[in-house]
């Protein structure tokens, strides 16, 4: 993307729909072919358009060119409630803006264009900022998460640690970060702490428990690998939150779903 146009290559309609509606994959009901049929999209952007307007622009494109029609449903279903654990919180209040880490100011100074990140229904900006050694840092940003820096340590067959540093995050933002850290954790994570302040959070996610997932993939058992990965991701997030005095509690709550009523396989002519 540049100031005047956006180009997307080999993108499925399902991928675009997930970005448009910002829902987890399990919360989108669409034709099977929407996942396998791919397109190249090149579009001229209106003068003054921002990246935040892209989802609405893609929705308009799908409506105009593919005849998109949809409706939303909300039903009672399983959720992961983010709650304070019995031992109490183990996080500090966020420092004032003047005392934030230097990398936060560096990321805030980037005027764009940004990367458009999307994991598990959570939409965020991704910002590349060089560290003091000139190596790029991966930074995510949303209003509720603030700026979050991701770094990886270790790795290999024994796994490693994915470290998320969030100097000024709300618990609503932490619920979103838990989904991202869990690689699209589902059921959805919903903040039910009742706390509205901002906090300093360091969330560590171990990847060691994913070794069994790799083994299942190598053995060709995709269904087993999917189940193992979901369990491994949930455990890793639970373990990381536990160190912060938080936990995920299985509950029932409203779950929103987007149902695609109509979508053409062939777009109208350019």
Could you state, in order of their start, the residue ranges of all structural domains in the chain?
Answer: 75-255
Which ranges of the chain have pLDDT less than 50? none
Give which of 29, 33, 27, 28 is closest to 13, Cα–Cα.
Answer: 33
> For position 221, what pLDDT does the model report?
66
> For position 96, what pLDDT does the model report?
93
Q: What is the DSSP string of 179-197?
A: HHHTTS-SSPEEE-S---S
> For position 230, what pLDDT does the model report?
83
> For position 195, what pLDDT does the model report?
96
> For position 139, what pLDDT does the model report?
95
State the pTM of this model: 0.84
- Residue 44 tokens read as 């001229």
Q: Kind and range of the H or E element at 24?
A: none
Q: Which residues, 6+ apart, have CB-to-CB distance to 228 below 8 Å? A: 212, 213, 216
CA angle 102, 147, 44 (to 5 degrees): 115
């Amino acid at each position: 993307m540049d100031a005047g146009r956006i180009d997307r290559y080999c993108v499925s309609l399902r991928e675009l729909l997930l970005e448009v509606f910002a829902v987890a994959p399990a919360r989108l009901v669409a034709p099977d072919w929407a996942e396998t049929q791919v397109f190249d999209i090149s579009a001229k952007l209106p003068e003054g358009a921002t990246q935040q307007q892209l989802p609405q622009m893609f929705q308009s494109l799908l409506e105009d060119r593919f005849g998109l029609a949809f409706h939303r449903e909300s039903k009672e279903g399983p959720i992961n409630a983010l709650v304070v654990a019995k031992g109490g919180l183990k996080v500090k209040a966020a420092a004032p803006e003047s005392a934030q880490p230097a990398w936060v100011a560096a990321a805030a100074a980037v005027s764009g264009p940004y990367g458009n990140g999307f994991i598990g229904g959570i939409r965020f900006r991704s910002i590349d900022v060089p560290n003091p050694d000139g190596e790029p840092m991966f930074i995510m940003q949303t209003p509720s998460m603030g700026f979050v820096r991701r770094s990886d340590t270790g790795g290999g067959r024994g796994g490693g640690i994915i470290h998320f540093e969030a100097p000024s995050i709300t618990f609503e933002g932490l619920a979103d970060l838990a989904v991202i850290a869990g690689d699209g954790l589902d059921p959805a994570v919903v903040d039910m702490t009742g706390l509205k302040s901002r906090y300093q959070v360091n969330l560590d996610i171990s990847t060691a428990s994913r070794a069994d997932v790799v083994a299942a993939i190598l053995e060709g058992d995709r269904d087993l690998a999917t189940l193992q990965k979901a369990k491994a991701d949930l455990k890793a997030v639970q373990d990381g939150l536990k160190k912060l005095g938080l936990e995920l509690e299985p509950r029932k709550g409203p779950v929103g779903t987007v149902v695609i009523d109509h979508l053409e396989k062939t777009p109208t002519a350019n």
